[in-house]
Structure 1
């Protein structure tokens, strides 16, 4: 599919389940978001978890109870239909992958939109840096690390990171650029040896797809909004609905609004 498609047209395809792939590279200029949906009785604990772990879980919006409409960032959208693929977790187990969540929606659900590193990929590209998973038409590789998140209420688990390989020079530039976007994970949390953060095999990500790491390149790791899925597996909440990794909700908000420079 042409990645230059207008957001309004992309949303029409999403509602008809005619676009179900990763969203990296789509809707240039629009902020992409991770999605977590929980019952109201777990919402405060998760809100506190996000507050205590702002690198992997930078909050963009929290919806009203029972409302699937993110009225601040996409008031004409519906979170039940406009994510390409959803994961349904029950008591920590991934039980279904679906293209809409109409049959799972309840009036006690609260939705959390969390900043996504896809947002800062366009500024990286505009500065001449290649994003390997986009170049290879793959989903971004993501890994569960050995770094524990700060627990909150019932929620606990380890940090998930996304990885993009760069030359040493480009890695420095990537740090400079992404540092301007703290609301969408900001600067990397690790550069270099993946084993130092518990990643034993860089060619086998826990989520997403492997990408080529060329000679002379180093892996660069950013905190990732898929962390709540690692937390779901550890904490085993009654119900957690998320986006499938790499299959994001795209807001009306422009990327530039999250830049601090």
Structure 2
């Protein structure tokens, strides 16, 4: 907008044009910096949570099963937190790689037409495939920790089901279980344990279905990764053949130049 002003001097116009050119670059640097900070942050949180989980698992060996039962929910919660934070870390890495891939794509589009068939394009394409392969590895890690998250939730629910099934209710000889159940329902207290077990079982079923979908996604991702790896291999092979052809052509040209020099002598 400032550049449209008629009363600006030439120096001010040059300065504003420079700022306009610097703006996108600075924004790009800011994005990269934020992404790096995000990755480093989640690295630290994952490291801290992993240390806490390791310590708890070591403590578990020193306690009996009955004594450790009260700490089990806490360990399960810690595992969930670790899986979630690791997922955040992997997704932050995915964003970084997507950004790098987009940057390579922009470089390829910005190349002048006369350079489109040079070694620069070959190098950029190889870099693109390498970033894409890294991206697939990160996607596999994301699926891995999504599955760990589901498994941890499943283990927790299965433990609750087991506790409910093993739960023993003692009644006074003069009390009727049916009447007590009705009173508990009226008072808003927990009702029939079997109903709770059924609900927990349904939750298990839903989580198992989600786990099955993750397995299907992993299979599709592996197919795409294999295809990308093959394309990368072919691209490297073409680049190698191109280099060999260049050196061969160069040697022939050197011989011709020498022959011309000898003829001139």
Q: Between Structure 1 and Structure 2, which shows a larger proportion of strand residues?
A: 1
Classify the TM-score, shorter chain. under 0.3
Compare CA radii of gyration and give the structure with the larger one: 2
What's the TM-score, normalizing by structure 2? Answer: 0.22
